[in-house]
Amino acid sequence: MIRPLAFLQNHPHCLERVYRFTLAVFRRARPLLARVGYDRAARVLVPVERLTKGAIFGCQMCGQCTLHATGMTCPMTCPKNLRNGPCGGVRANGHCEVIPEMPCVWVQAYERSRHMPLYGHEILLIQPPLDRRLADTSAWINAITGRAEDTGIVWNADD
């Protein structure tokens, strides 16, 4: 996937501020979105998310966005789609086991998280299992409605 704005990922401090601001805007807009109808709003938001987050993060529209907790680095760009990483195969040079010429997504996520005073600590949280039913839905709508967290999937971070 071509990511013309991928360089912005090297400014995670700015990105986490944009994330916080955008989340606040969406939370305020929730009554309006509810009135418009989430499905109707998603028809506009999904293409916008696909375009903007695709250009920066290589977003694959999982619908359960965890960027702020993963160093503003999309875990779905890991060839193994690991939501919690890294795996045990990181090479000595910090590159990927599957694609040797590619830096490990999770090494990048950790390094970027160190430059994120607002959300950087969340890199230590265990991410819940991905709910594939949310694929190609609006992550923003899922975040403000709680759909991203309330997936109905039973799991235990201590297991």
- Which spans of this chain sit near ligand SF4 (rule: CB under 6 A)? 53, 57, 59-62, 65-67, 74-76, 139
Q: Find the largest Cα–Cα distance for the chain.
A: 53
- 45/139 with CB nearer ligand SF4: 139
- 39/136 with CB nearer ligand SF4: 136
3-state secondary structure of 31: helix
Cβ–Cβ under 8 Å, residues 99 and 90: no
- 47/91 with CB nearer ligand SF4: 47
Sign of torsion over alpha carbons 86, 14, 1, 101:
negative
Q: Cβ of residue 49: shortest distance to ligand SF4, in angstroms?
A: 7
Cβ–Cβ under 8 Å, residues 41 and 138: yes
- 91/99 with CB nearer ligand SF4: 99
Give CA angle at 61 (70, 84), nearest 5°.
30
Residue 79 structure tokens = 């060839």
Residue whose token pair is 């694929």: 135
Half-sphere exposure of 17 (CA within 13 A, CB side): 6
